[in-house]
């Protein structure tokens, strides 16, 4: 059991929250408190492990509540864990694909509505279908006592009950983290690719097949510009055209704990694109693309010709991506600044293509006019990625 403080209409109250990996029972008791929203100090609790733990937090079924899982994600991140959040309304198939492609050490899955007896066995079956039957799965939610044995019988390692502490969950993730070994001759190309990327990230040269993809596009821009939504929309369009796409997405890594919250992949609907989009999330402090050339060769060797590299939310001096991609797209949004900002040296100089995303926002026309002054013939596209507007034209420009 743990307590957090919430301010409602200016009055601070203390809700008692009982955690069960997303199954949260709320009992409100009015009393003033200054208790912070997390009891865990932000420190590295994973420095002694073979590599940074990677846990996929999944919400299967029709459970539309994610408050609890987000609190857990932050606590894990603050303990030095790399947390991949796949979003709400996942199917067993989409969750298995995500866990495999991210080479997660474990899946921590929650669900409501008494669906665990159906969905969890299907998840275990899908993990086998995608080449990773060895992945550790822990579950939580409202799990009746009589259903615990069936969960263990179908392959679940652990069941989280109400009263599970954050440190218990951290320890569960740590216990699932073992040294990476190469996956070979498995018959599952993407499972092997995912592990090879992990090995390269750990400084081990991979023996997997290698070939430079035909086109590597770097997607960069300030935080909140919509890069993830834009790349997801273009990837979905690729699949509609009968093509495949790979996305390597970088997110920031904490310089304090070493943890990271990797949430970009939730923009992609894997219930629709299935295995036609390979998506791998990686964490970085600053602009470190040392391992990216070898990762790209592995992605190409696995049969992907078109690749997006999505950078961490960039500032004016973050221009390193240009050196490792074939073409660079800078994504901007209305309201980012005046003409003086446009004339400054930095990220706008490296653009081969400009994209004004969220083009339905006020200030879009002014931003396009400012860009025209500095573009020197470089293409400018206007998109509303959430609605798919302008996406086809941009995709054709980049890959056809």
> Is residue 161 within 8 Å of residue 20, measured between CB atoms?
yes
- Which DSSP category does 241 fall into? T
pTM: 0.88
* 54-175 and 189-399: identical CATH topology: yes
Q: Token pair for residue 273?
A: 């694109």
What ranges do the domains of the chain cover? 54-175, 189-399
Fold of 189-399: Rossmann fold (3.40.50)
Q: Residue 156: name the closest of 146, 165, 148, 164 by CA.
A: 148
pLDDT tens across 77-123, in order? 999 999 999 888 899 999 999 999 999 999 999 877 678 999 999 99
In terms of C-beta density within 10 A (0-12 exposed, 13-18 middle, 19 or more buried), how is residue 13 classed? middle
Residue that the structure tokens 């026309």 belong to:
365
For domain 54-175, give the CATH number. Answer: 3.40.50.280
pLDDT tens across 343-372, in order? 555 788 999 999 999 999 999 999 999 999
Which residues, including other chains, have CB under 8 Å from residue 261's CB and lie 6 or more apart? Answer: 73, 74, 77, 83, 85, 251
Q: Residue 396: name the closest of 226, 195, 241, 255 by CA.
A: 241
pLDDT tens across 117-171, in order? 999 999 999 999 999 999 999 998 888 999 999 999 999 999 988 788 999 999 9
> Is residue 8 within 8 Å of residue 33, measured between CB atoms?
no
- Which DSSP category does 344 fall into? S
């Amino acid at each position: 059991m743990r307590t957090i403080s919430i301010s409602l209409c200016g009055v601070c109250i203390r809700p008692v929250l009982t955690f069960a990996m997303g199954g949260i029972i709320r009992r409100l008791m009015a009393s003033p408190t200054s208790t912070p929203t997390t009891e865990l100090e932000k420190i590295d609790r994973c420095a002694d492990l073979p590599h940074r733990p990677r846990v996929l937090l999944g919400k299967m079924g029709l459970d539309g509540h994610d408050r609890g899982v987000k609190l857990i994600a932050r606590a894990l991140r603050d303990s030095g864990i790399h947390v991949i959040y796949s979003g709400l309304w996942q199917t067993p198939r989409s969750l298995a694909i995500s866990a495999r492609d991210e080479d997660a050490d474990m899946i921590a899955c929650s669900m409501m509505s008494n669906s665990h007896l159906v969905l969890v066995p299907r998840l275990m079956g899908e993990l086998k279908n995608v080449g990773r039957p060895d992945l550790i799965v822990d579950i939580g939610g409202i799990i009746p006592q009589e259903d615990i044995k069936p969960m263990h019988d179908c392959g679940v390692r652990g069941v989280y009950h109400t009263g599970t502490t954050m440190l218990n969950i951290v320890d569960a993730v740590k216990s699932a983290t073992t040294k990476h070994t190469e996956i070979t001759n498995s018959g599952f190309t993407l499972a092997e690719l995912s592990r090879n990327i992990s090995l390269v990230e750990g400084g081990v040269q991979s023996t997997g097949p290698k070939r430079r993809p035909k086109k590597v596009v770097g997607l960069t821009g300030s935080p909140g510009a919509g890069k993830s939504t834009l790349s997801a929309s273009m990837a979905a369009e690729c699949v509609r055209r009968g093509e495949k796409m790979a996305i390597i997405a970088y997110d920031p890594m904490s310089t304090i704990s070493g943890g990271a919250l990797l949430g970009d992949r939730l923009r992609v609907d894997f219930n629709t694109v299935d295995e036609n989009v390979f998506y791998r999330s990686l964490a970085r402090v600053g602009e470190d693309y040392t391992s990216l050339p070898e990762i790209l060769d592995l992605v190409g060797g696995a049969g992907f010709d078109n690749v997006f590299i999505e950078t961490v939310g960039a500032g004016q001096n973050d221009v390193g991506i240009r050196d490792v991609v074939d073409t660079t797209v800078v994504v901007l949004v209305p309201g980012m600044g005046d003409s003086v900002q446009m004339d400054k040296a930095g990220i706008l100089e490296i653009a081969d293509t400009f994209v004004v995303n969220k083009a339905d926002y006020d200030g879009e026309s002014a931003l396009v006019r400012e860009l025209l002054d500095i573009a020197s013939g470089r293409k400018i596209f206007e998109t509303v990625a959430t609605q798919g507007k302008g996406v086809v034209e941009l995709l054709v420009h980049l890959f056809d």
